[in-house]
Structure 1
Amino acid sequence: VERQGVDNQEVRKSAARVVRPLLGTTREEIRAWMEKKGFGWREDSTNALDEARRNKIRNRVFPVFAEINPSFVKTLGADMERFRQTDDIADDYYRQAAERIVKNAPQAAAGAILQISVAGLLELRHWRYVLWRALEDYGFSAETFDKLCTLLERYRTEPLGTVTLSGKVFESPAHILRAQRKNLLLFNRL
């Protein structure tokens, strides 16, 4: 698995583009088409059970939304396509930013597996997103990430020299992130 995208679905590295041509089509529409064409229809009996979360949503929530808005399924399909496009835009933004400010080993400082330029990071409009993407695979908790962002925001906005980054350490179960000079350096725990 490469990472999780904006839509929180696992994204795998692949040259193939996933196409879901029936995403905006209801089950009833598919069933009617199959019956009209003379194909048999078989329902997986587990789809009717609410044991899986996706089935609860499909069986309980979607019908309520469809009652409120009859075009709900089609609207949801269109929205999912827009979310995929948004995810592509975010990926492009991250890649372009990371090319300028993130260095991976062996280009990073001695011993570091990742080096992030603080000045370059804080020049970005969406620096929190870029930082999250750079660190997302290294196990930092949301609380630790928020503390890091709070420190960086103070460093960015408060008068020069009033907030010190050097020497600050942020830890995850397997990694240590150290602020040294003008960089954030990520190390494996020994």
Structure 2
Amino acid sequence: MLEEFNKEIKDRFSFLQKASLLVACSGGVDSVVLTHLCVKSGFKIILVHCNFNLRGKESDEDEQFVRRLANQFKVEVLVKSFDTKHYTQNHKGSIQMAARTLRYEWFAQLAAERKIDYILTAHHLDDSLETFLINLSRGTGIDGLSGIPAQNDKIVRPLIGFSRAEILQYAKNENFSWREDSSNMESKYLRNKIRLEIAPKLKELQPAFLKNFKQTQVHLEQTNSLIKNHINQVKENLFKEKNGVISIDIEALSALKPQKAYLYQLFKEYGFKEWDDVYGLLTAMSGKEIHSTTHRLVKDRTDLILSTKETKSRQTFLIEKDELKTTIPIPLTIEEVEIMEKGAPNVVFLDKEKLNYPLILRNWQKGDYFYPSGMKGKKKLSKFFKDEKVDVLSKEKQWLLCSGEHIVWVIGRRSDERYKVDDSTKNILKITCSV
């Protein structure tokens, strides 16, 4: 198996050969074989072991076994003990999900602290089959049918092309010692039930089942790559990014068929899961929005606006009478001038005597209104934004310069008629926004 392992490394994982690696080792036969193969292949490794304290004395004996294995190969070992039951009580989900979360969070932390390139786990072909069947039973797309990926960012699975039988036979041939996890024989867990009852029946019905499954996985991975390449091309054409915000033309998006399949592929990486809501946004009223845990998607007339979620600020900032410059929340330069120059969107000229200090910088709020320069009457700011075709996210980021409760300047867009310079003005104040 060592020869086949090295061929697999050369063909699929050559980037591991000179990398710094964490090897997750539970003490079971799979991770023990992975450890032996890595050492024999000359990899630079650190063993990592999680003691989840779920099986009493057995858990502690697993830990001691891994420590001895590390000592045998003269490699560093890192061990962490978890109160998994307590964690599960305080978080939604099963014991298995809690252990998985704790394990990978710790691995990621170690990788960052130790500047580790990759984390190796001992998942193999049978594990991938079990994942395939679990996902199939729950309803899934092509990602779920592809089983366990050989690589997921820093997580790499170099045994994914080998069967459990191959790994076990190698361990026996080499007289390796390993630990047996008694919980693996409990069929109350779905994965164990598939491993112990369903997968053996499939292999019995078709002796070449696992070999054929492996080939199917290759075809699915290749198909998935084609889809990803196509979706990336579609994104290049449709997703227009400016200042960290992405605009997507709704008409062009709606023309893609099959529509829901495209929406899934285009927006899944942003954490959206309620696909009927995403679909409904195409024909929703302007201003309608939906959220994932990390992003928001807003309908804005002819576009969908995609952005990362930010905490909405309701802070106010004061500008004192003698203040000549601000940097927070936006850069403003304030000066007295003798004459007015030709106007520009980022510059406003005001009658200083009409202002009440301190001036206030704040975001716009529902119900705000002002008297747009050049007009006699007042206008709601929401109506002004609509007429000016200001998108939803730009509105949220809009800053106002205020004198008391009155808006003096919708910064960068329009000043207020009440504060304009006229024939009676004695002191002209020039304010420049350098955003």
Query: In which range does the TM-score fall when normalised by the shorter chain?
Result: 0.5 to 0.7
Distance of aligned partners of 1:146 and 1:123 in 2 relative to their CA distance in 1, 3 Å threshold: closer
Distance of aligned partners of 1:144 and 1:47 in 2 relative to their CA distance in 1, 3 Å threshold: same
SS in 1 for 2:237: helix
2:161 equivalent to 1:22: yes
SS in 2 for 1:65: helix
Looking at secondary structure, tell me which structure has more helix per residue: 1
Q: How does 1:29-68 map to 2 (within 5 A)?
A: 29-35=166-172, 37-40=173-176, 42=178, 44-45=180-181, 46-68=183-205
2:304 equivalent to 1:184: yes
Alignment match, 1:86 = 223
The amino acid that maps onto 1:88 is S
Q: How does 1:150-161 map to 2 (within 5 A)?
A: 151=283
Structure 2 contact 278–290 (Cα < 8 Å) conserved: no
Alignment match, 2:251 = 119
Alignment match, 2:208 = 71
Shift of 1:57: 1.5
Determine what percentage of the aligned residue pairs are the same residue.
Answer: 17
Distance of aligned partners of 1:22 and 1:139 in 2 relative to their CA distance in 1, 3 Å threshold: closer
The unaligned stretches of length 5 or more in structure 2 are 1-140, 313-435
Distance of aligned partners of 1:52 and 1:81 in 2 relative to their CA distance in 1, 3 Å threshold: farther
Q: Quick one: distance in 1 between partners of 2:202 and 2:170?
A: 24
User: How many correspondences in the alignment?
Assistant: 163
Structure 1 contact 115–185 (Cα < 8 Å) conserved: yes
Work out which of the two has the higher radius of gyration on C-alpha atoms and give 1 or 2: 2
2:281 equivalent to 1:142: no
C-alpha distance after superposition, 1:37-69 (max 9, x if no partner): 333363532332335432222112101211222
Q: Quick one: distance in 1 between partners of 2:246 and 2:177?
A: 53
Q: Quick one: distance in 1 between partners of 2:248 and 2:176?
A: 58
Structure 2 contact 260–275 (Cα < 8 Å) conserved: no
Q: Quick one: distance in 2 between partners of 1:105 and 1:138?
A: 21
The amino acid that maps onto 2:263 is L
Q: Quick one: distance in 2 between partners of 1:21 and 1:144?
A: 37
Structure 1 contact 102–114 (Cα < 8 Å) conserved: yes
Alignment match, 2:19 = none
SS in 2 for 1:7: helix
SS in 2 for 1:114: strand
Q: Quick one: distance in 1 between partners of 2:178 and 2:157?
A: 25
Structure-1-length-normalised TM-score: 0.65
C-alpha distance after superposition, 1:7-28 (max 9, x if no partner): 23577446x98654634x3x33
C-alpha distance after superposition, 1:130-174 (max 9, x if no partner): 32233322445233134346x4xxxxxxxxxxxxx6627242366
Distance of aligned partners of 1:118 and 1:93 in 2 relative to their CA distance in 1, 3 Å threshold: same
The unaligned stretches of length 5 or more in structure 1 are 108-112, 152-164
Structure 2 contact 281–288 (Cα < 8 Å) conserved: no
Distance of aligned partners of 1:51 and 1:143 in 2 relative to their CA distance in 1, 3 Å threshold: same
